[in-house]
Copies of this chain bind each other. A is one copy, B any other.
Amino acid sequence: MAQAVDFWVSIGSTYSCLSVMRIADVAARAGVTVTWRPFDVRRIMLAQNNIPFRDKPVKAAYMWRDIERRAQRHGLNLRLPAPYPLAELTFANQVALVGCAEGWGEDYIREAYRLWFTEGLEPGQEPARTRAIASAGQEPARVLDTARSPETAARLEAETDRAMALGVFGAPSFVVGTEVFWGDDRMEDAFDWARDGRLG
Query: What chain B residues lie within 8 Å of A167 (beta carbons)?
Result: 58, 61-62
Nearest chain B residue, comparing its CB with the CB of A185: B185
Q: Is the CB of B50 within 8 A of A59?
A: yes
Q: A48-B56, A49-B56, A56-B49 are in contact. Are A199 and B69 (CB under 8 A)?
A: yes
Cross-chain contact of A72 among B55, B62, B199 (Cβ < 8 A): B199
**Contact A199:B49 (CB < 8 A) given known A58-B167, A62-B169, A62-B182:** no
Q: Are B58 and A198 in contact (CB under 8 A)?
A: no
Copies in the assembly, this chain: 2
Asked if A139 is at the interface of the complex by the 8 Å CB criterion, the answer is no
Say yes or no for A29: interface residue by CB 8 A criterion.
no
Instruction: Give CA–CA (A103, B4) in the complex, Å.
Output: 50
A142: Cβ under 8 A from any B Cβ: no
Q: In chain B, what residue has the closest Cβ to A57?
A: B48
Q: How far is the CB of A63 from chain B (nearest CB, A)?
A: 10
Q: A residues within 8 Å of B by Cβ?
A: 48-50, 55-56, 58-59, 61-62, 65-66, 69-70, 72-73, 167, 169-170, 179-182, 185-186, 189, 198-200
